[in-house]
Amino acid sequence: MPIKHTIYTVSFFLATVLFSCTPLKISKIKNGQTIEKQGIIFYLPQTEITAVINIEKSFRIDGQFSKESQNFLPVKQKNSIPQYRIKNIQLTQVAEPDTSQCYFIERCKAQINLDNKNILLGFNLPKTLERKTNFPEINNFSTPANLPDYNDYFIKKNIKEVIDTVYKVVKRDSISYTKKSFVKKEIEKNKTDYAYDIYRYLIKLRKHKFKLIADINDSSITPNSLKIRLYQIDSLEQILKSLIAGKEIVTPSSYVFHFKPNSNNLSDTIAFFSESYGINQQTGKPIIIRISMLPEFYQKFTSKITGKGLPYRIPIQADVSLFIGKNLIKKQRIMISQMGKTLKYPSNIIRNKHISVSYNPLTGNIEKILKIQK
């Protein structure tokens, strides 16, 4: 199509949109203002930065027979002091309603699309354009700090046979003497006996494992079957070792922090981290979140458009940095709505029900203006 014809078509289309319907009214609501007319209230979004810090707590607990098995082990096992480490950090941009950018719209025949927080998503949006905010994953489950039980892996008698020495006084004629004899009897096993059973079984497992590895050239043993058998032996060995030597328990958890930056608040200490106490509010290295706006993305223009048009935002780009003490742990670039500009677009654009206006749900800027196919 020639450029001249394209210009005429677009001009006719805009003229139809601008003058075909009764003007609607969009007004800004001030804090505490009373609304007496019928209409719809919506907000523009402001950017909230959500920091999710996932940590792991590790500590060693005694096995079921740790005390009784000290004579079998080369190193004495003791319960360790809990140690914390940061596994990963997620910085996520979340949209929250900006109470300073609250609007009331009247006489609107278009379909107004809002999210569950009454943040404006657009007008006449088809379902394919509606988007949901992806929230960061939060892990607050803890694995049970339980160790295996002896009875789950051993079926043995609760008694053992021992040979006891019995002394008996024998009288013969006028002579008496002491006779020593050996008697077999059964006594109940104690915890040291159970620990020794485990210890002997571990030795058998090691011998069996060595035999499998030594026979690696045996044609009857395939590499895949050898791998499976060695894995099963290693798993059982770890379970038995935990009965007499204890086990290291690792429990994950997540901490969520929220930060809303503005021109007067570009940095905040959200918590402290210590390897001995984990995430807390007073001990360890400070966890600092800091906003650095990019100078090249400052809006240098000044809008002279005033009135009651369709509000939208031009967000500003910034770097979000997370420090632990003086160490930079994570840096991420995001768009911040409330530190940009709020402008107005002619509200008559949404009078036509065949026009779709799409807003970015996180930043509040207009992304698309489309003609809906009939």
Residue 98's pLDDT band, with cuts at 50, 70 and 90, is: very high
Q: Residue 226 has what pLDDT?
A: 83
* Least confident among 16-25, 184-193, 324-333: 16-25
Joined together, the tokens standing for residue 35 give: 């609304």
Q: What is the pLDDT of residues 339-369, one digit of tens each?
A: 888 888 887 777 777 788 899 999 999 988 8
- Rounded Cα distance, 76 and 251, in Å: 24
Same domain, 90 and 118: yes
More confident residue, 45 or 31: 45
Same domain, 135 and 155: no
Question: Could you tell me the residue range of the domain that residue 326 belongs to?
Answer: 38-57+86-142+257-371
Mean pLDDT rounded to a whole number for the chain? 80
Instruction: Report whether pLDDT(336) > 50.
Output: yes
For residue 177, give the H/E element and its range: strand 175-188
| Total domain count, the chain | 2
For residue 229, tell me if it sits in a domain.
yes
Same domain, 177 and 222: yes
For residue 93, tell me if it sits in a domain.
yes
- Rounded Cα distance, 306 and 314, in Å: 16
pTM of this structure = 0.69
Q: What is the pLDDT of residues 110-149, one digit of tens each?
A: 788 899 999 999 888 887 655 555 556 666 655 556 677 7
For residue 241, tell me if it sits in a domain.
yes
Burial status of residue 112 (CB atoms within 10 A of its CB: 0-12, 13-18, 19 or more): middle
Same domain, 265 and 366: yes
Same domain, 107 and 159: no
Same domain, 107 and 210: no
Instruction: Report whether pLDDT(63) > 50.
Output: yes
Same domain, 233 and 263: no
Q: Residue 9 has what pLDDT?
A: 40
Same domain, 300 and 158: no
Same domain, 267 and 323: yes
- For the chain, give the longest Cα–Cα distance: 144
Q: Residue 349 has what pLDDT?
A: 76
Residue 243's pLDDT band, with cuts at 50, 70 and 90, is: confident
Residue 326's pLDDT band, with cuts at 50, 70 and 90, is: very high
Report whether 312 contacts 26 (CB < 8 A).
Answer: no
Same domain, 134 and 112: yes
Same domain, 223 and 287: no
User: Rounded mean pLDDT of 230-250?
Assistant: 86
Same domain, 261 and 130: yes
